[in-house]
């Protein structure tokens, strides 16, 4: 566990539920988002007549780098789309952070319910 998240054991159940509700309420209300990161690479175009065929760094491009089932994919990003792609990645990361936070809180609540012998389904119905 990194230091990005508080020690949930130190919070009261009331505070945990309030924090979980606020994280859920702050989720981006959009199905958009892209997983991955923007990378910058120089590539050769393959044309024998091009200056890049004679050496040098090649053509600069941004790519969306994403790993799917263990394989990394690079998708070319048109020059003026880079900010939009980065905003999509930021949306995904907001969702990802929220899911981690909510499920960490849920795990702490689960531990308390086990410890206290509280009926989990009954507790969830109240929320």
- Which residue ranges make up the site for Zn ion (CB under 5 A)? 45, 50, 52
Query: Shortest distance, CB of residue 56 to Zn ion, whole angstroms?
Result: 9
Query: Shortest distance, CB of residue 44 to Zn ion, whole angstroms?
Result: 6
Judged by beta carbon, residue 21 or residue 50, the one nearer Zn ion is: 50
Distance of CA 24 to the CA centre of its chain: 15
Judged by beta carbon, residue 26 or residue 53, the one nearer Zn ion is: 53
Judged by beta carbon, residue 26 or residue 45, the one nearer Zn ion is: 45
Q: Which residues of 99-120 are buried (b: 16+ CB within 10 A; e: fewer)?
A: eebbebbeebbeeebeeeeeee
Helix (H) or strand (E) holding 97: helix 82-116
């Amino acid at each position: 566990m990194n230091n990005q998240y508080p020690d949930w054991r130190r919070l009261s159940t009331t505070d945990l539920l309030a924090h979980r509700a606020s994280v859920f309420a702050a989720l981006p209300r959009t199905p958009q988002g892209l997983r991955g990161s923007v990378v910058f690479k120089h590539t050769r175009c393959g044309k024998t007549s091009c200056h890049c065929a004679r050496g040098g760094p090649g053509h600069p491009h941004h790519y969306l780098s994403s790993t799917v089932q263990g394989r990394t994919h690079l998708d070319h990003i048109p020059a003026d789309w880079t900010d939009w792609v980065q905003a999509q990645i930021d949306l995904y990361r907001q969702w990802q952070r929220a899911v981690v936070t909510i499920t960490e809180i849920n795990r702490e609540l689960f531990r308390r319910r086990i410890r206290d012998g509280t009926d989990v389904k009954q507790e969830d119905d109240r929320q």
